[in-house]
């Protein structure tokens, strides 16, 4: 973690700024992408495939419900699959969708300056036409999300002159397989650092699918993003991450993950590749394979992450309240990092 850090805003100013960011950004996002706000669940029934399995190994927080005969519920890890069901239930037309405040607990997270037990993000999902299942359409949506981030950056600068804008005018599209070819001796995170520093803001497409050397850029669950399909130009993957250069931390910084969602053929292929074909029998997966859900595109945008970046904070604990090991608390106190 960095040395000689001094927050640009006081704790009280930070709290006020967090409210301003959240209010401004969600309105910008909803109008840019034609999204209607909906209420989201904090927990979902266990064992039917609705909860996000993330990389497939993280265990959700669960609890039995006394008045439901001990039926087990799980705190959501994200709303990736629930959102698709909701868009289909609401019979949204292509080009229209929903967004919501998602609050999750991820107990298996490795805690550091950008990872917390508590996850808060704007989860969004929109219906699309079958013909728009291309990386080009995906990148058009990426550019709209990026415009919202840019507008929020100026909105803050107009109120806090010390928060000078740093984001470039445009975001760069880069494929994960091209990155691997360009820097075969670097790890995926080192590749992200390199391109984020060069361009300022990048969308790395194709997260989860196999790269030329057989590795993957990063893990993705097999049952929401479509990372195995041919995107139409020889690259694999219809998903990706918005990553910016964080000058405070001196590293690449992910703000958002999004993707075009699986269809029956890609779901079957991805379940097979990940060795979890038994999931096809779960309620969510069987309904998807039966064609009950409309084609969608969606993603999540970290609320505390976005606030951390825009307010030039050194630790995510400066923009949200969570629990931290004593060694992290002591390290932050030593370096002048005020955790909320």
Point out the catalytic residue in the list 30, 180, 256, 257. Answer: 257
Q: Has 287 been annotated as catalytic?
A: no
Q: CA 316 to CA 309: how far, in whole Å? A: 9
- Between CA 130 and CA 134 the distance in angstroms is 9
Nearest to 61 by CA among 47, 72, 75: 75
Joined tokens for residue 14: 């930070």
Yes or no: say if 231 and 205 are a contact pair by the CB < 8 Å rule: yes
Which of these, 313, 319, 326, lies nearest to 6 by C-alpha position? 313
Return d(Cα 220, Cα 229) in angstroms, integer.
14
CB 44 within 8 A of CB 51: yes
Q: How far apart are CA 276 and CA 56, in angstroms?
A: 9
Backbone angles phi, psi at 89, to 5 degrees: -65, -35
Question: Any alpha helices (H) in 158-295, and if so which ranges?
Answer: 176-182, 188-199, 264-273, 283-289
Out of 121, 229, 256, 304, the active site residue is 121
Catalytic choice (26, 30, 52, 318):
52
279 is catalytic: no
Give Cα separations from 320 to 121, 163, 168, 272 (angstroms): 12, 19, 27, 38
In 129-238 the beta strands, taken as DSSP E runs, fall at 172-175, 201-205
**Residue 121 is among the residues annotated as catalytic for this protein:** yes
DSSP state of 216: B
Half-sphere exposure of 321 (CA within 13 A, CB side): 3
Q: Which residue has the tokens 């990063």?
A: 218
Please say whether the beta carbons of 52 and 224 come within 8 A.
yes
Assess whether 52 carries a catalytic annotation: yes
Find where tokens 């049952």 sit: 223
Question: Of residues 241, 279, 303, 322, which has the active-site annotation?
Answer: 241
| Assigned token pair, 183 | 């820097």
Q: Which of 229, 254, 270, 322 is catalytic?
A: 254
Regarding beta strands 35-37 and 97-105, do their DSSP bridges make them parallel or antiparallel, or are they unpaired? parallel
Known catalytic residue at 254 = yes
Q: Which of 78, 84, 88, 106 is catalytic?
A: 106
Q: Please indicate whether residue 132 is annotated as part of the active site.
A: no
**296 secondary structure, DSSP code:** E
Residues that are catalytic: 52, 106, 121, 241, 254, 257
């Amino acid at each position: 973690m960095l040395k000689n850090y001094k927050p640009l805003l006081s704790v009280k100013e930070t709290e006020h700024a967090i409210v301003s960011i959240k209010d401004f950004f969600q309105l910008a996002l909803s109008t840019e992408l034609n999204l209607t706000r909906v209420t989201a669940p904090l927990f979902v029934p266990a064992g039917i495939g609705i909860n996000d399995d993330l990389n497939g190994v993280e265990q959700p927080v669960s609890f039995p419900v006394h008045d439901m005969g001990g039926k087990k519920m799980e705190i959501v890890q994200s709303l990736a699959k629930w959102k698709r069901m909701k868009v289909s239930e609401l019979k949204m037309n292509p080009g229209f969708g929903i967004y919501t405040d998602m609050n999750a607990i991820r107990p298996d997270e490795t805690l550091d300056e950008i990872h917390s037990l508590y996850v808060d993000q704007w989860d969004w999902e929109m219906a699309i036409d079958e013909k728009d299942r291309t990386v080009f359409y995906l990148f058009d949506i990426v550019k709209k999300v990026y415009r919202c981030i840019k507008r929020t950056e100026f909105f803050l600068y107009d109120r806090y002159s010390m928060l000078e804008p740093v984001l470039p005018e445009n975001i760069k599209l880069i494929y994960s397989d091209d990155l691997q070819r360009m820097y075969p001796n670097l790890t995926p995170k080192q590749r992200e650092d390199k391109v984020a520093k060069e361009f300022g803001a990048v969308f790395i497409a194709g997260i989860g699918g196999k790269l030329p050397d057989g590795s993957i850029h990063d893990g993705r669950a097999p049952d929401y993003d479509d990372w195995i399909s041919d995107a139409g130009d020889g690259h694999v993957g219809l998903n990706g991450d918005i990553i910016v250069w964080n000058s405070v931390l001196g590293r690449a910084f992910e703000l958002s993950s999004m993707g075009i969602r699986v269809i029956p053929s890609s779901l079957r292929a991805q379940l097979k590749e990940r060795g979890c074909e038994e999931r096809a029998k779960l309620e969510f997966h069987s309904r998807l394979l039966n064609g009950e859900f409309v084609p969608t595109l969606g993603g999540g945008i970290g609320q505390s992450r976005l606030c951390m970046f825009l307010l030039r904070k050194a630790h995510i604990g400066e923009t949200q309240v969570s629990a931290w090991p004593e060694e992290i608390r002591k390290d932050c106190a030593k370096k002048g990092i005020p955790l909320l």
